[in-house]
Amino acid sequence: MKFLRHLTAVVLVVAVIVGLGLLWAHASGGTGIDNGLRQAPSREAVARMRQIKAGVIRVRSDNGFNLADTGDLIQTCMIEAVLAAVVITVSTVRRRHRRLRRTAAAKS
């Protein structure tokens, strides 16, 4: 019962965030809803197409796992590991400083 109550609250919060996103899209003119009118592709889309054609962005036609292409996965893991290491180091250093300060205060 408690789980359902909390889940309802979470779904409401998520709905509010999505609603605000839709409002933002509407306000900026990019609703993403097909209104039947074909617009000219945006500058970003044209640039993306150029990058795909030039081979800067790789797009694969198949939709399964590509175990040979682990470059992306390794890059993601590296970024996550570096950021986590930075946070852990800062947290450890801060904790040590706090402990030293507390010890010094207790001695004096």
Partner 1 sequence: MNAAPRTSLPAPPVTASRRRILARTRLDFWLDALLLVAYTLAYSLGFTGVATHEWLGIGLGLALLVHLTLHWDWVIRTTGKLFGRGGRERFVWLVNLLLLLTMTLCIASGILISEVALPQLGITVTASSFWRQMHDTTATLTLILVPVHAALRWRWIVGVARRLAAWRPGRSR
Measured distance CA(17)–CA(19) in Å, rounded: 5
Measured distance CA(3)–CA(53) in Å, rounded: 49
Toward partner 1, which CB reaches closer, 7 or 52? 7
Provide the token pair at 78.
């590296």
* 50 lines the binding site for partner 1 (CB under 8 A): no
Q: How many CB atoms lie within 10 A of CB 51?
A: 13
Residues 53-92 touching partner 1, rule: CB under 8 A, are 58, 60, 62-67, 69-73, 75-77, 79-81, 83-88, 91
For residue 37, give the amino acid letter: L
Measured distance CA(49)–CA(57) in Å, rounded: 9
Closest contact distance (angstroms) between CB of 104 and partner 1 is 20
**Which stretches of the chain bind partner 1, using CB under 8 A?**
3, 6-7, 9-11, 13-14, 17-18, 21, 25, 28-34, 42, 44-45, 58, 60, 62-67, 69-73, 75-77, 79-81, 83-88, 91
